[in-house]
Amino acid sequence: MTLFFTFFIVFVLTEWVFVVVLIREGIGGLLRIDMYEVLKLGHWQEELILPFLKFPFFLCNLFFFLVLGLISFGRKAWYNGIVERGRLVIQCTVGVFLLN
């Protein structure tokens, strides 16, 4: 049960930026999201987002998008979304290590 709540909290913290982009840009914007979308939200949001995309958290993020994409977007968009989400996670992770 503790593992479930931990996963849920991490999942909520890592997903809010994608909800913001979804509201602002629509589903197409969500599938095209990249580091620029994260950084243009502002410096204080960047400081909140990037730490949550380090190793333990990006696995939860990718797992969530596998499930969400499979249910919501259909196979082609699901695959494209995974590729784009994976690219974002890699960029953010590299950015964290470069900034530190």
Residue 58 contacts residue 51 (beta carbons within 8 Å): no
Per the structure, the complete domain to which residue 7 belongs is given by 2-99
Residue 21 contacts residue 71 (beta carbons within 8 Å): no
Per-residue pLDDT of 81-95, as tens digits, reads 555 666 665 555 555
Question: Residue 8 pLDDT > 50, yes or no?
Answer: yes
pLDDT value of residue 42: 47
Measured distance CA(90)–CA(58) in Å, rounded: 9
Count up the domains in the chain and report the number. 1
pTM: 0.25
pLDDT value of residue 43: 47
pLDDT value of residue 29: 52
pLDDT value of residue 100: 47
Per-residue pLDDT of 12-66, as tens digits, reads 655 655 555 555 555 555 555 554 544 455 444 445 555 555 545 555 655 655 5
Alpha carbons within 13 A on the beta-carbon side of 37: 24
Measured distance CA(27)–CA(45) in Å, rounded: 21
